Amino acid sequence: MNILDKIVERKMAEVNQLKNLQSYSSLEKSDYFGIPTKSLSKNILQNQISIIAEHKRKSPSKKEINFTSKTKDIVSGYEKHGAVGISVLTDMYFFGGSKKDLKIVKESCNIPLLRKDFIIDEFQIIESRSIGADAILLIAAILTKKQISNFSRIAKELGLNVLTEIHSIDELQKCDLKNIDIIGVNNRDLKSFQVDINNSIKISKHIPSEIVKISESGIENPRDIKNLMNEGFDGFLIGERFMKSENPGASLKKFIEETK
């Protein structure tokens, strides 16, 4: 069993437990249901250098990235220094995140928030809206074409942006493009965790031009950004590059300045 299979197996158990503890109606009573969401896709298109900065404590490939910086300080720095959105890992077991992190981020900044987790059930989409997310991540590698279509539709009905993450052309063909706001090409193979930034370049020309497209993972320097922008990418999701520094916001600021 590869790491992605292990993550999904554990997530299924977590979601089943949550569904026994909370009802759909209780989630819909959240104050966030009455607050309009912010569009991550529009924010990406409105900026010259569009970086979604990620809040990530650890990963299966890096057991410790940053457990010292305070969440509020991290995301306030991201917003101050030019992030177009913030991605928040909410998986605890494998990534050291939590839904509490997303709520703290919601209270600390005013830019769109992407809930990054392994969504396998519509319950998690309702939950995402209830904790303040503006957008959700759907990972094509763990979902069927029908699931992607259904989950995208539900998210759109709730006012959430949908970022569908792919790693191959086959996965792109599973996507319901009429209900997707952003396609993210992951340069990291989620089964082996090997990274190849050329994966974005290879897939780029197959993504319809009307879809906002971003590149994710393995982006280490401004040269990568410039090369990917030349291939038509509108934005970039970067986490570890900033989180491994003592001051992630300052790291983002320096990165954007060097790119310009």
Position 29 in a domain: no
Position 92 in a domain: yes
Q: Could you tell me which of 111, 72, 86, 107 has the C-alpha nearest to residue 239?
A: 86
Answer yes or no: are the C-beta atoms of 14 and 21 closer than 8 Å.
Answer: no
The pLDDT of residue 227: 93
Residue located via tokens 């974005």: 200
Average pLDDT, the chain: 94
56 catalytic, yes or no?
A: yes
Catalytic residue among 103, 116, 213, 253: 116
Q: What is the pLDDT of residues 13-68, one digit of tens each?
A: 999 999 999 999 999 999 999 899 999 999 999 999 999 999 999 988 778 899 99
Q: How far is CA 70 from CA 51, 104, 143, 259, in A?
A: 21, 10, 33, 27
161 catalytic, yes or no?
A: no
Interstrand relation of 161-166 and 113-116 (parallel, antiparallel or unpaired)? unpaired
Distance separating alpha carbons of residues 82 and 92, to the nearest angstrom? 27
Quick one: pLDDT band at residue 178, thresholds 50, 70, 90? Answer: confident
C-alpha R_g of the chain? 17
The pLDDT of residue 60: 85
Position 139 in a domain: yes
3-state secondary structure 154-172: HHHHCCCEEEEEECCHHHH
Catalytic residue among 14, 165, 171, 240: 165
Provide the residue range defining the domain that includes 237: 3-21+43-259
Quick one: pLDDT band at residue 247, thresholds 50, 70, 90? Answer: very high
Q: What is the pLDDT of residues 119-137, one digit of tens each?
A: 999 999 999 999 999 999 9
Position 32 in a domain: no
Asked whether the predicted pLDDT for residue 260 surpasses 80, the reply is yes
Q: Could you tell me which of 46, 40, 136 has the C-alpha nearest to residue 85?
A: 40
54 catalytic, yes or no?
A: yes
Position 228 in a domain: yes
240 catalytic, yes or no?
A: no
Q: CATH no. for residue 179?
A: 3.20.20.70
What element of type H or E holds 53?
strand 51-55
Catalytic residue among 66, 186, 200, 215: 186
The pTM is what?
Answer: 0.95
Domain count, the chain: 1
